[in-house]
Amino acid sequence: MNTKIKELALNQIKVTDSFFAPMQQLVIDEVIPYQEKILKDEIPGVEKSHAIENFRIAAGLSEGEFYGMVFQDSDVAKWLEGVAYSLMIKPDAQLEARADAIIDVIEGAQQPDGYLNTYFTVKEPEQRWQNLQECHELYCAGHMMEAAAAYYEATGKDKLLHVMERMADHIIGRFGEDKERGIPGHQEVEIGLMRLYRVTGKEKYRDMADFFIEERGKNPLYYLEEAKKRGWQHFGMDPENPAYNQAHVTVYEQKEAVGHSVRAVYMYTAMADLAASLQNERLKKACEDLWDNLTGRRMYVTGGIGSTVDGEAFTIDYDLPNDTAYAETCASIGVVFFAKKMLSMEADGRYADVMERELYNGIISGMQLDGKRFFYVNPLEVNPGISGVLYGHKHVLPERPEWYACACCPPNVVRLLTSLGKYTWDETEDTIYSHLFIGQRAELEKAVITVESSYPWEGKVSYQVEAKEEKEFTFAIHIPSYIKDAVVTVNGEKVCISERLKKGYLYLKRVWGKDDRVEIAFDMPVRKIYASQKVKEDAGCVALMRGPVVYCFEGMDNGEMLQSLRIPKQLSAKAVKCEEGVLKGNVLLRLKGIRMVGSEELYSEEPPRAEETEITAVPYYTWGNRGLNQMRVWMLEE
C-alpha cells in the first residue's frame, strides 16, 4: 500500500489535451453559465430550480416558501465545485464575484448551531435529522464540503470552508460511537469530510467519515427503527430494504455491488480513501472485493454500471441488458472517483484501465457534443419506437434531453471534466505515476512534466520531464492493458518493456535531468471484444474498440435493421478521421460487413442469405448527435 501518497492540487496541472481540453472549454463556456441561470431562475420556460432562492429565504434575505427536492441545496454545491475547478483553468473575476456573493448567502443560511440545510431550516425545522434514510441532509452537506474545499483550493478564500467546518462540527456533535449512531441514506458526506480533512489537516473530519463507514450495516434495522421512531416518511422509500443503501451488512461483509449504483460507488470511494489514509488493510481488501465484482461482473463494456432503472440499481452478476441499461452518467463518474482512490493505494493497471474505459466512453456519452444536452441513462442499444416509449424502455431516451431537465448528471460531468488533471497523477516520495495519456503540463514535486498525446485517436504519447533537481527517482507510466506492442524510448533509446512492466505500469528508474523525453508509440488496430458467455445479452456478438474507444453502429450510417448486420470473422476495418459534420475530428471505422437478407414472412424455413456491405461505426460517446435513429454497440458476429 502506498502510504505516502500526496494529493495533487488541481492548479498544479493544466490540461492541454486535444481531446479533453475542448470539452473542458465547452463545460466552462456552456454548462456552468447555463446552470447558474437555472439556479437563479433566470431562464423562463424551464423547470423552476429555486435553489439559490431557498438559501436566500433561509438567510432571511427573502420571503417565501421552500421549493424543490429535499436535496435541492446540492445543486448549488455541485455548481460551486465546478466553478472552483473552472476558475483554476480559466480565471474569471466576474464569475468569481458572483460565486462569492452566493457563498455570502449560504453563510447567511447557516444556523447558529452550524446546521445548514434550507429544506429543513425553511420548511420543517422541527424534523431535522429525523430521517437520514430519505432526507439527504448529510448528502447535501457532503457536496457543500467538496465545494468548500475546491473553492478554497481555487481561490484561497476560506469563507465557505469555515461554513462547512462549522457544519461538520455540528455533525460531529450529533453522530458518533457514543452519540447518535446514524448513517446517511445517500453516501457522500464521507467524501466531503475526507476533503475537509485533506484541506484542513484536522483528523476529526476523517474520524467522522470513518465512523459513518464503519457504522454502516452494523445495524441493518437502522432505517426501520428510525422510521418507526419518527412515524413519517418523505419519499416512501422502503426502510426494510437496506441493501438499496448498501446498509444491509457492514462494508467488510459486502462482496457484491448492490443497490443504488451512485450511492454504492460514492461509498466505495470513501472506503478506499479511508483505507489508504488509515492504512486499514481490511478495508482495502473490502474495496478490492467490491471492485472485482463491480468491474468483473456488473459493468458494461462502455463502463456503465447499474443494469436496471428500478432503483437506478445493480441487479445480478452478468445481467447486462443493452436496451434497458440504466448506466447512469453519475455512476460512471463515481467509478472514476473509486478507481483513482484505488490507484493511489496501489498502482495496478486494472484500475487505470477502468478509469480510461469510463473517461472515453460511458461518461462523455452523457453530454451532447455541443455541451447543450445530457443523458442520465447511457444504453448500449436503442430502437426508435421502443426506446423511450414502451414499458420497460421509457427511461432509455434515444436522444439527449435539454440538459436542464436533469439536475444531477450535468454538474457531475462539469466537476469531473474540469478536475480531470487530478485523475492523471500520483506522486510518492520516490515515484511519479502517470495513469492516463492526457496531454497536459503538470507541476509535480519532483518535476514538471509536459505530456503531448495523440490519444485516443493515435498511439503516440510523449512525456517531457524537467526534474526540479537532477536526481534518481522512478517515473511509472500506465500502459493500457490492450496495448501489446508499445515501443518506448527514453531520450531516443529503446527501453525493454517486459523487464520494466509490472501490473500495467512501466517503471523507469533513473536520474532524471532538466530535459528528458519519454516517447511511447503503439499501433491502434481495431479490436474485437467478446463478452463472457455468461452475459446472455451479448451472446454471439462482438463489440469493436480502437484504443480506449468503444464503437457503436447507428442506423443513419448503416441503413435500418442493425440486427441484420454481421461483423465478419476476418475483420477488415479502416480507421478514418471524420472531416465534416458534428462528428468532425472523430475517428470512424469503415468495415466490410455482412447484411443478412431473409424472407419477408414473419416465420419461414428459408435461411437468410448473406450480402456484403460496407458499414460504419462511430465512437460510442458520439451516438445520438445526429437525430433519432437505431444504435447498437454489440453486433452479431458472422
Instruction: Exactly one of 146, 226, 312, 381 is catalytic; name it.
Output: 312
Handedness of CA 108, 114, 120, 121 (dihedral sign): negative
Contact in structure between 426 and 348 (CB atoms under 8 Å):
no
Name the site residues for its own copies (rule: CB under 8 A): 295-297, 299, 301, 308-310, 315-316, 318-319, 324, 383, 385-386, 390-392, 482, 527-536, 539-540, 543, 561-564, 566, 596-608, 636
Q: Which is nearer to its own copies, 316 or 582 (CB)?
A: 316
Q: How far is the CB of 394 from its own copies (least distance, A)?
A: 9
Q: How far is the CB of 238 from its own copies (least distance, A)?
A: 14
Which residues make beta-bridge pairs with 154? none
The whole-angstrom separation of Cα 509 and Cα 511 is 7
Q: Report, in angstroms and rounded to the nearest whole number, the Rg of the chain calculated over CA atoms.
A: 25
Q: How far is the CB of 234 from its own copies (least distance, A)?
A: 22
Q: Which is nearer to its own copies, 136 or 632 (CB)?
A: 632
Q: Which is nearer to its own copies, 125 or 296 (CB)?
A: 296
Q: How far is the CB of 420 from its own copies (least distance, A)?
A: 24
Distances (CA, A) of 291 to 6, 180, 267, 445: 23, 31, 12, 30
What pairing do the DSSP bridges indicate for beta strands 431-434 and 471-478? parallel
Q: Which is nearer to its own copies, 371 or 555 (CB)?
A: 555
Q: Supply the DSSP symbol for 401.
A: P
Q: What H or E segment, with its residue span, contains residue 617?
A: strand 609-619
Q: How far is the CB of 548 from its own copies (least distance, A)?
A: 13
Residue appearing with cell numbers 447543450: 372
Q: Supply the DSSP symbol for 591.
A: E
Q: Which is nearer to its own copies, 264 or 414 (CB)?
A: 264
| C-beta atoms surrounding 156 within 10 Å | 7
Q: Which is nearer to its own copies, 391 or 499 (CB)?
A: 391
Q: How far is the CB of 300 from its own copies (least distance, A)?
A: 9
Q: In 3D, which of 416, 408, 424, 420 has the Cα closest to residue 376? A: 408
Concatenating the DSSP letter of every residue in 219-262 gives: STTHHHHHHHHH---SS---TT-GGGGT-SS-GGG--S--SBHH
**Which grid coordinates are listed for 342?**
484505488
Q: Supply the DSSP symbol for 422.
A: G
Contact in structure between 143 and 99 (CB atoms under 8 Å):
no
Concatenating the DSSP letter of every residue in 33-66 gives: HHHHHHHTT-STTSPP--HHHHHHHHTTSS-S--
Q: How far is the CB of 527 from its own copies (least distance, A)?
A: 6
Instruction: Exactly one of 408, 443, 466, 638 is catalytic; name it.
Output: 408
Judge if the upstream peptide bond of residue 456 is cis by omega within 30 degrees of 0: yes
The whole-angstrom separation of Cα 472 and Cα 547 is 32
**Which grid coordinates are listed for 559?**
441503413
Q: How far is the CB of 127 from its own copies (least distance, A)?
A: 31
Q: In 3D, which of 30, 58, 54 has the Cα closest to residue 41? A: 54
Q: How far is the CB of 88 from its own copies (least distance, A)?
A: 35
What pairing do the DSSP bridges indicate for beta strands 631-632 and 549-554? antiparallel
Q: Which is nearer to its own copies, 61 or 561 (CB)?
A: 561
Residue appearing with cell numbers 472517483: 337
Q: Is 312 a catalytic residue?
A: yes
The whole-angstrom separation of Cα 548 and Cα 360 is 6
Q: Which is nearer to its own copies, 93 or 602 (CB)?
A: 602
Q: Which is nearer to its own copies, 276 or 552 (CB)?
A: 552
Question: Hey, which residues are catalytic here?
Answer: 312, 408
